[in-house]
Amino acid sequence: MKSCLVVDDSRVVRKVARKILEELHFTCSEAEDGKQAMEACAREMPNAVLLDWNMPVMNGIDFLRRLRKMSGGDQPKVVFCTTENDLAHIQEALSAGANEYIMKPFDSDIIQTKFAQIGLI
């Protein structure tokens, strides 16, 4: 079973994403900011990361840049899931190493489609 780390400062968003991902047969763990996400990846690297942009402590783009420099950090597929929908944010995320980009609000079909496009399902 593949694993996904859901990183978002909103408990509701994490809960909704987790339910969708578990229905897609992922084991899920959660982090509420980039710092917690770094600690989780240091313990065990997930197959996928569903990542918010705007969070306290460490935001999503800073987390992604650090993740990609970690040993094994090139392996997880990273999908940004954010309200930041302008082209500059999308280009920045992709150049930092994101594999895909989802706009909030999202639903099961959107997550399933994006995860399929990058080979996770």
Kindly report the CATH number assigned to the domain that includes residue 77: 3.40.50.2300
pTM, two decimal places: 0.96
Q: Cα separation of 37 and 49, whole Å? A: 9
How many structural domains are present in the chain? 1
Q: Cα separation of 83 and 68, whole Å? A: 23
The answer to whether residue 42 scores a pLDDT higher than 90 is yes
Boundaries of domain holding 69: 2-118
For the chain, what percent of residues have pLDDT higher than 90? 98
**Average of per-residue pLDDT across 86-106:** 95
